[in-house]
Amino acid sequence: MNKVALITGINGQDGSYLAELLVDKGYEVWGTVKRNSVSETQSNRIEHLRSTNKINLEYADLTDMASLVRVLQKIQPDEIYNLAAQSHVRVSFDQPIYTANATGLGTLNLLEAIRMVSPHSKVYQASSSEMFGNNIDEDGYQRETTPLNPVSPYGCAKVFSYNITRNYRNSYNMKIWNGILFNHESPRRGTNFVTNKVVKAAVRIMLNLQDKLHLGNLDATRDWGHAKDYVEAMWLMLQSDTPDDYVCATGISHSVKDLCEYTFSYLGLDYKDFVEIDDKHFRPEELRDLKGDSSKLRKELNWEPKYTFEMMISEMIDYWLEYYKDRSDG
């Protein structure tokens, strides 16, 4: 009998890649979507799966516990992947209360619903490197033992989710894993995130569809991996027997300036001719440096990323080149 999996936030970047992975592994895959918030680009991420009846969708919202209980009672999943959240850090400063409700209390709603009606389920909770804030170990890395010190409403909400997950695991003997994921990107990343924002703009500039790109802090560095590699890590966690917390990262950091240099040079351009600094894109409190040590995940679960930074950005550039080519041909 096939395993049954439930993915909250299935129409997001990670949810769509995870759904593909689980379908390929023979799972019966269910996902939750919000009735009024699925934009065309979001639904496009999973349309190829939905239109061929490879996934099943249910309306539910992390802020509505009754909807979660209904879905869990109906599906009784073997595995649950909680990927739904208000996930944009900059937006969390503009909508801190909504972020706390959706990203923080929403996790508690789901855990309580699971405890009540589906306690047998293995659960993956999407935690974030944003929880560490500017706390960095002496060797320059952040790992499972690094103290948490968030510097954004999003990071604060994720710390609550992380801690309440550990609390439910210990208090109720629930099988729950925290994946502390560092930044991960792909062609499916929202264009309000800096990687796809830069890539899309550079392609548009090359095609004379755009003149300038406005950015904030070019010196901010991030540990960027590919979402495909990271959803495999999520799956690996739930195949293990002992619930635990794992950092998932490449261990290599690049600055936003590096991102601009690589992207524009790939297209035969110099980013300095087109990128302008705009104060509105700076965060009220900035993270300086993020770089993760995933040695625990690699050693215990044999995870290894397949994509390099350059491979990932090149794939994203090629996606947007093809996107605009298709529209010009049409």
Average pLDDT along the chain, 330 residues, taken 10 residues at a time: 94 96 97 68 75 89 97 98 88 93 97 98 96 94 97 95 98 98 95 93 96 92 96 98 98 96 98 87 65 97 97 98 82
Active site residue 130: yes
State the helix-helix crossing angle for 227-239 and 13-24, rounded to 10 degrees.
Answer: 60
State the pLDDT at residue 180: 98
Residue with tokens 């970047």: 13
Alpha carbon distance 328, 143 (integer Å): 46
Domain ranges for the chain: 4-185+226-248, 194-221+253-289+308-329
Active site residue 128: yes
Alpha carbon distance 217, 190 (integer Å): 19
Q: Which of 20, 28, 79, 130 is catalytic?
A: 130
Q: Which of 67, 118, 121, 128 is catalytic?
A: 128
State the pLDDT at residue 286: 62
Find the distance separating the first CA and the last CA of the chain, reported in whole Å. 45
What CATH topology corresponds to 194-221+253-289+308-329?
A: UDP-galactose 4-epimerase; domain 1 (3.90.25)
Q: Which of 154, 162, 168, 307 is catalytic?
A: 154
State the pLDDT at residue 41: 46
Alpha carbon distance 157, 84 (integer Å): 13
Are the C-beta atoms of 196 and 185 separated by less than 8 Å?
Answer: yes
Alpha carbon distance 134, 289 (integer Å): 7
What CATH topology corresponds to 4-185+226-248?
A: Rossmann fold (3.40.50)
Active site residue 152: no
